[in-house]
C-alpha cells in the first residue's frame, strides 16, 4: 500500500505545485509578455470621460439607485453560470474604493487583469477587451475617475461555485484563452475603420455580449460577434456580423441611429442590457458612432441563430 500511495501523493503534490506556479500572474507575463506599459503623454481628463462612457463602467460599477451614474460604490450583481459576481467599489474613496491606487496599478488591472495585491481578476470584469486600450487612454480614464466623488461602501464578496471560487484558477484560464497580442492598428484600413475597430474591440467590449462562449466562459474565437445569450437572462444579444441573421440588411446609418437613439430600422427600440449600452454610446461623438458602424459593416458573415419572431 505504502509503495502505491507515495507516488500518487508525490504526483498530487507536484501537480498542485505546478498549478500554483504556472497560474501565478508572473507566469502569464513571462510567457505572453507584460502589457502594463507606461503612458507617453500628459493626461487628458476629457478623453478619460469619453472612455468611461464608451467603456460602460457605470453599467456595472455605479450604485443601482444612482441616477447620475457617477457614484461608483459597486453595482448590481452579475448572475453568471459560474455564480454571482458583485462589481466592487471603484470610486476614489480611499478605504472602500481605489483612492489609494497608483496609476501604474490601475493600468495593470485594466491591461493585465491583475490586482495591486498580485491576484488575477475574473474576466467578468471585461479586461479581456479593455486590455487593448492604449496605456495613454487608460491613464486618462484613471485621471477622470479621480474627478468623480468618493463613495463609501463595499460590495459583497462574490458567490461562486467550486472550482471557480479558486481565484488563482483564472491563471489557467488566461493561459488557455487570453491572447498575448492586443489589438493593433491595421495600416491597410482607413482611419475611421481603425477608430471603429479600436472602440468596438476595446472600450465598447461589444463582443463580450454578442458572442457565444464555451463551457469555461471564453468567447469562441471563430464565432466572435455571431450572437450570444443576453447576460440578463432573457433573449439574445443578436448576431452583429454581415450574416442574414445579423446586420446584413442594416446600413451604416441604421447602426449609427441605434447607437445614438436605441431605435432599430423597424422603429423598435432595443431593450434590456443594450439600452444600458445605448446610454453609453449616445454620449459619444457622431464621428465615433460612425466609425463603429463602419467597422461592424466590415465583419465577415458568420451564421448565427435565427431571430425570434417579434
Ligand atoms: C460587465 C461588468 C463590468 C464592466 C462593464 C466593468 N467592470 Fe470593472 N469589474 C467588474 C467585476 C465583476 C470586477 C471584480 C473582478 C474580480 O473580483 O476579479 C471588476 C473589477 C474592477 C476593478 C478592480 C477593483 C478592485 O477593487 O480590485 C477595477 C479598477 C475596475 N473594475 C474598473 C473598471 C473600469 C474603469 C471600467 C470601465 C472601463 C469597468 N471596470 C467596467 C465588472 C465590470
Ligand atoms: C451587456 C451586453 C451587451 C453589450 C456590452 C453590447 N450589447 Fe448590443 N445588444 C445586447 C442585447 C441583449 C441586444 C438585444 C436587445 C433587444 O433585443 O432589445 C443587443 C442589440 C444590439 C443591436 C441590435 C441588433 C439587432 O439585430 O436588433 C446592435 C446593432 C448592437 N447591439 C450593437 C452593439 C455594439 C456596437 C456594442 C458595443 C458598443 C454592443 N452592442 C454591446 C447586449 C449587449
Residue pLDDT, tens place only, 239-284:
999 999 999 999 999 999 999 999 999 989 998 889 989 999 999 9
Percentage above 90 pLDDT, the chain: 79
Q: Which residue's alpha carbon is nearest to atom 33 within ligand 1?
A: 57
How far is residue 96 CA from its own chain's centroid?
A: 22
The per-residue pLDDT for 176 is: 93
pLDDT > 90? residue 17: no
pLDDT > 90? residue 82: yes
CA–CA gap between residue 166 and residue 217 (Å, rounded): 15
From the CA of 246, give the closest atom in ligand 2: 26
From the CA of 141, give the closest atom in ligand 1: 35
pLDDT per position as a tens digit, 192-245: 999 999 999 999 999 999 999 999 999 999 999 999 998 877 889 999 999 999
Q: Do residues 200 and 295 touch, judged by C-beta distance below 8 A?
A: yes
Per-residue confidence at 187, pLDDT binned at 50, 70, 90? very high
CA–CA gap between residue 165 and residue 258 (Å, rounded): 38
Q: Do residues 126 and 204 touch, judged by C-beta distance below 8 A?
A: no
How far is residue 122 CA from its own chain's centroid?
A: 10
The per-residue pLDDT for 12 is: 85
Q: Which residue's alpha carbon is nearest to atom 39 within ligand 2?
A: 206
Grid coordinates of 76? 448590481
The per-residue pLDDT for 18 is: 86
pLDDT per position as a tens digit, 135-181: 999 999 999 999 999 999 999 999 999 999 999 999 999 999 998 88
pLDDT per position as a tens digit, 128-141: 999 999 999 999 99
pLDDT > 70? residue 1: no
Grid coordinates of 143? 485621471
CA–CA gap between residue 88 and residue 72 (Å, rounded): 8
**Is the alpha carbon torsion for 308, 282, 111, 125 positive or negative?**
negative
The per-residue pLDDT for 7 is: 80
Using CB distances shorter than 6 Å, the residues near ligand 2 are 200, 204-206, 208-210, 230-231, 235, 237-238, 240, 255, 258, 264, 270-274, 277, 281, 292
The per-residue pLDDT for 179 is: 87
Q: Do residues 238 and 210 touch, judged by C-beta distance below 8 A?
A: yes
Q: Do residues 291 and 193 touch, judged by C-beta distance below 8 A?
A: yes
Per-residue confidence at 3, pLDDT binned at 50, 70, 90? low
Residue that has been written with the C-alpha cell 461592424 in this structure: 296
In Å, how far are 244, 270, 274, 286, 291 from 238, measured between CA atoms?
11, 11, 10, 23, 20
Per-residue confidence at 310, pLDDT binned at 50, 70, 90? low
Lowest mean per-residue pLDDT among 241-245, 270-274, 286-290, 305-309: 305-309
The ligand whose atoms approach the alpha carbon of 273 most closely is 2
Q: Which residue's alpha carbon is nearest to atom 41 within ligand 2?
A: 206
Closest CA to 137 of 81, 227, 199: 199
Q: Do residues 227 and 269 touch, judged by C-beta distance below 8 A?
A: no
Pick the residue with more confidence: 10 or 247? 247
Q: Which residues contact 30 (CB under 8 A, 6 or more apart)?
A: none
For ligand 2, the distance from its centroid to the CA atom of residue 58, given in whole angstroms, is: 17
Q: Which residue's alpha carbon is nearest to atom 38 within ligand 2?
A: 204
Average pLDDT, the chain: 93
End-to-end CA distance of the chain: 66
The per-residue pLDDT for 178 is: 94
Closest CA to 180 of 120, 111, 121: 111
Closest CA to 110 of 218, 228, 203, 211: 203
The per-residue pLDDT for 182 is: 86
pLDDT > 90? residue 112: yes
CA–CA gap between residue 171 and residue 114 (Å, rounded): 10
What's the mean pLDDT in 177-194? 93
The ligand whose atoms approach the alpha carbon of 159 most closely is 1
For ligand 2, the distance from its centroid to the CA atom of residue 212, given in whole angstroms, is: 14
Q: Which burial class, exposed, middle or buried, applies to 81 when counting CB atoms under 10 A from its CB (0-12, 13-18, 19+)?
A: exposed
For ligand 2, the distance from its centroid to the CA atom of residue 305, given in whole angstroms, is: 15
Instruction: Name the residue of 123, 126, 238 to mutate for ligand 2: max ligand atoms within 8 A of Cβ.
Output: 238
Amino acid at each position: 500500500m505504502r509503495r502505491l500511495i507515495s507516488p500518487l501523493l508525490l504526483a498530487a503534490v507536484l501537480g498542485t505545485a505546478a498549478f500554483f506556479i504556472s497560474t501565478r500572474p508572473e507566469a502569464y507575463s513571462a510567457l505572453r509578455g507584460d502589457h502594463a506599459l507606461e503612458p507617453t503623454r500628459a493626461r487628458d481628463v476629457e478623453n478619460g470621460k469619453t472612455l468611461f462612457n464608451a467603456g460602460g463602467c457605470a453599467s456595472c460599477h455605479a450604485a443601482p439607485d444612482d441616477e447620475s451614474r457617477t457614484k461608483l460604490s459597486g453595482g448590481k450583481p452579475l448572475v453568471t453560470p459560474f455564480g454571482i459576481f458583485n462589481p466592487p467599489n471603484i470610486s476614489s474613496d480611499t478605504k472602500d474604493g481605489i483612492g489609494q491606487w497608483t496609476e501604474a496599478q490601475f493600468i495593470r488591472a485594466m491591461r493585465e487583469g491583475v490586482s495591486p495585491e498580485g491576484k488575477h481578476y475574473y474576466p467578468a470584469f471585461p479586461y479581456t477587451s479593455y486590455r487593448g486600450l492604449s496605456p495613454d487612454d487608460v491613464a486618462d480614464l484613471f485621471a477622470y475617475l479621480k474627478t468623480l466623488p468618493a463613495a463609501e461602501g463595499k460590495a459583497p464578496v462574490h458567490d461562486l461555485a467550486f472550482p471557480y471560487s479558486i481565484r488563482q484558477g483564472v491563471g489557467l484560464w488566461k493561459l488557455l484563452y487570453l491572447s498575448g497580442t492586443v489589438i493593433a492598428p491595421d495600416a491597410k484600413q482607413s482611419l475611421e475603420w481603425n477608430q471603429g475597430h479600436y472602440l468596438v474591440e476595446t472600450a465598447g467590449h461589444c463582443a463580450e455580449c454578442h458572442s457565444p462562449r464555451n463551457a469555461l466562459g471564453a468567447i469562441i474565437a471563430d464565432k466572435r460577434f455571431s450572437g450570444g445569450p443576453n447576460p440578463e437572462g432573457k433573449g439574445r444579444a443578436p448576431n452583429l456580423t454581415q450574416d442574414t441573421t445579423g446586420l446584413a440588411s442594416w446600413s451604416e446609418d441604421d447602426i449609427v441611429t441605434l447607437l445614438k437613439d436605441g431605435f432599430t430600422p423597424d422603429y423598435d427600440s432595443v431593450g434590456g442590457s443594450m439600452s444600458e449600452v445605448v446610454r453609453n454610446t449616445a454620449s459619444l461623438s457622431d464621428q465615433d458612432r460612425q466609425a463603429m458602424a463602419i467597422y461592424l459593416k466590415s465583419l465577415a458573415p458568420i451564421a448565427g441563430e435565427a431571430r425570434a419572431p417579434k
